[in-house]
Amino acid sequence: MTHHEAENTTNDPASAVLERARHFVDDLTLTEVVRWKKDHPGQLAVGYMPIYVPRPMLEGIGCLPVAMFGGGDQVDIIKGDSFYQSYICHIPRSTLELALNGSLDSLDGVLFPSICDVIRNLSGMWQMLFPEKYASYVDLPQNFDPELGGKFYVNDMARILRDLTARGAWKYDADKMRAAIAAENSRRAALKELDTLRVKEPFRVRASEAYLVARAGGLLEAAAHEKLVREFVAAAKQRAPRVYDNVRVLVRGSFCEQPPLGLIKTLEAAGCDIVDDDFQLGLRYIDGDIECGPSDDPMRAIATAFLRRGQATASRYIADEEKGAALVQSVRQVEAEGVIFAAASFCDPALLDQPMLEAALDRAKIPHTSLKFAENTGQFQVIREQAGAFSDAVKLWGSAA
């Protein structure tokens, strides 16, 4: 349990950087992307849906990768609902809403990674609705042999590079690609530092803050994001500790449609220190560096990192390993006392995965609870009660019984 909490006063040394992060997260009309394009004439901005596309592949040809996480609770859905039946999750509706109301006009193209059939089919809808824009499905390999899935992935990235170059992106240059990988590795190291601080001293970094700081990177170049993360970490370290009694939990299942910030804060208010989560899994998908020496083929390096060190998540086939083993290991690593599954309603990957993960937690005697949300959920009372009961149970008995 954590016995401290940072003071949240106007003298908070992290408040300025948090405000900036919040600005990026709230920038649903992509004003920052428009500004970036003005500063980088002729270069492209390429959006991508969750969870993961290799951002250095885009930065290496001079494109700004822009993570698309729908409209959250900030967008009124006027047209988006007419494209989806009631039993389909919320993120594709708000994403289409933003696209149809012009908020995403600054994007020159969008990539749709293979995470589920909703996003897969959205790629075709995009092709039909916005024929003038580049829209491509990215079939990330489910075979992890470098000569099979690896080769396929390298070829597929080459296709995307060709397509984007034909639309004005830089021609492929191995040195530039290596530089983009190095920048990504530095960003990843900064995020790691943030995550480590959160694990070690959660009283200095609330999950809701770490969330904003990480998610801000969705529309920043790696180097700019690294700077912001480091600035926040340095500021957070200056915060004064405060005694508090929370339960350390890990949250899983929110890798695509994002919970509203209010939900994360509700969990915190219910006595949970969220010491690990998958809200912004895309930026942390590769565990560690993309290893790429000066004479290595950078595209192979990106593929190998995906195959070897891609994180276990619902959209990734677990071949020989035990299902849920990675989750149990994460729980141990961050010394969490319990797991909260928080999945978007109607999210097939997360919800189909959950029983297997729960079984693994049961075997390891790790308490867990589960809840569902939509990105525009506005009422958190029930969630607060549920999370409060969970944290009390864990505190009292070390289980959710």
Partner 1 sequence: MTTTPTHITRPREVDTEAAKDDSQLRQKQMISGHFDKLATAKEDGRAVAYTFVPGNLTELMLALDMLPVLPEINALQSGMRKLSGNYITEAEKLGHSEDVCTYVKCDIGMMKSGNIGPTGTKLPDPNILLLSYTGCFTFMKWFELLKEEYNCPVAMLHVPYQGDGHITPEMRTYVIEQLEREVIPALEKAAGKKLDLDRLSDLLERSRKAEDDLVAVWESAQNTPSPIDGYFGGVYYIGPIFSAFRGTQDACDYYAMLRREVEQRVKEGKGPVTPDGDAPEEKYRLVVEGPPNWTNFFDFWRMFSREGATVVSSTYTRVGGLYDTGFRHDPKDPLGTLADYCLGCYTNLNLPMRTKLLASYIEKYKADGFLINSVKSCNSFSAGQLLMLRELERKTGVPGGFIESDLVDPRYFGKANIENRVQSYLQMLEARKSRASA
Q: Is 119 in the site for ligand SF4 (CB under 6 A)?
A: yes
Whether 375 and 90 have beta carbons less than 8 Å apart is answered as yes
DSSP reduced 3-state for 11 = coil
Q: Which is nearer to partner 1, 137 or 170 (CB)?
A: 137
Whole-angstrom CA distances from 60 to 78, 113, 175, 252, 274 are: 37, 19, 9, 31, 34
DSSP label at 321? Answer: S
Query: What's the CA gap between 401 and 394, in Å, rounded?
Result: 8
**Which one of partner 1, ligand SF4, none interacts with residue 382, CB within 5 to 8 A by kind?**
none
Report if residue 259 touches partner 1, rule: CB under 8 A.
Answer: no
CA dist list (Å): 279 to 42, 57, 251, 276, 341? 32, 22, 8, 9, 11
Give me the residue label for tokens 């970036």.
36
Q: Kindly identify the residues of this chain, within the stretch 199-228, that bind partner 1 according to CB under 8 A.
A: none
Closest approach of ligand SF4 to the CB of residue 226, in Å = 27
257 interacts with, out of partner 1, ligand SF4, none, CB within 5 to 8 A per kind:
ligand SF4
Partners of 247 in the β-ladder:
272
Count residues contacting ligand SF4 (CB under 6 A)?
A: 14
One character per residue 149-178, x = contact with partner 1 (rule: CB under 8 A): x-xx--xx--x-------------------
Judged by DSSP in three states, 18 sits in helix
C-alpha dihedral sign at 54, 59, 62, 66: positive
Residues 337-356 that bind ligand SF4 (CB under 6 A): 344, 347-350
Min CB(155)–partner 1 separation in Å: 4
Q: Which of 141, 259, 298, 367 is in the footprint of partner 1 by CB under 8 A?
A: 141
Which one of residues 45, 58, 66, 115 is an interface residue with ligand SF4 (CB under 6 A)? 115
For residues 290 and 272, what is the distance between their CA atoms, to the nearest angstrom? 33
Neighbours of 345 (CB within 10 A): 16
Residues that bind ligand SF4 (CB under 6 A): 89, 91-92, 115-116, 118-119, 256-257, 344, 347-350
Residues that bind partner 1 (CB under 8 A): 82-85, 87-88, 92, 112, 114-118, 120-125, 127-129, 136-139, 141-143, 145, 147-149, 151-152, 155-156, 159, 314-315, 317-319, 323, 343, 345-349, 351-356, 358-359, 372
